[in-house]
Amino acid sequence: MSLPFKVYNFTSKNAKTLPRAAIIVLQEWWGVNDMIKQHAQNIADHTGAYTVVPDLYKGKVGVNAEEASHLMNKLDWNVAIGEIEQLIDSLNNQGYDRVGSIGFCMGGGLSFALAADAAKRGKPIQAAVGCYGTPPDHFDLSLIKDTAIQGHFGGKDKMAGFSDPAAADALEARLKNAKE
């Protein structure tokens, strides 16, 4: 299966592995930079899971906040989620039947959006973790029933409507409603 983006692959440098498990690491607004790659390697080392990072910006990396903001604002989340689902299908075809996601900043919101969309298509992922980011309202989080969810936010974050405490509280309410 040909994917619409480059995928960076990471395996545990330790002896332990977690069979049939894969974790998709979703980038911050900067793109796939050394920090995201290091996060992915650390996750692989600590979990033993096969860890992948899809390059949603297709080779572009923001070198300053203005450029990163431009790249993030140009990203069509619906298209990105569809492309990540192609990656999940590819992982499933390779024998990875336990797939989860973790994202940072923009990737945090994408992780939750992915969980909702995967559930919508009848192929829920096993876990979705977001580190300071929320998805747009048009993603139906009420569909997330069978996915373990975790969100991490800073109490002093000032990114209003995306990762500030009010946005985190609103996301928590949406997710609690989904689980009831």
What digits encode the pLDDT tens for the residues 71-93?
999 999 999 999 999 999 999 99
Q: CA-CA distance, 48 to 52, in Å (whole number)?
A: 12
Q: Where are the beta strands (DSSP E) in 55-97?
A: none
CB 116 within 8 A of CB 141: yes
* Neighbour-count burial of 79, counting CB atoms closer than 10 A to its CB (0-12 exposed, 13-18 middle, 19+ buried): exposed
The answer, yes or no, to whether residue 162 has pLDDT greater than 70, is: yes
| pLDDT tens, position by position, 1-59 | 699 999 999 999 987 888 899 999 999 999 999 999 999 999 999 999 999 999 999 99
> Residue 63: exposed, middle, or buried by beta-carbon count in 10 A (0-12, 13-18, 19+)?
exposed
Neighbours of 143 (CB within 10 A): 17
3-class DSSP state of 178: helix
pTM of the predicted model as reported, rounded to 2 decimal places: 0.95
Q: Give the CATH class of 7-179.
A: alpha beta
What is the pLDDT, as a whole number, of residue 179?
A: 66
Beta strands in 40-160 (DSSP E): 50-54, 98-104, 127-131, 148-152
- Domain spans of the chain? 7-179
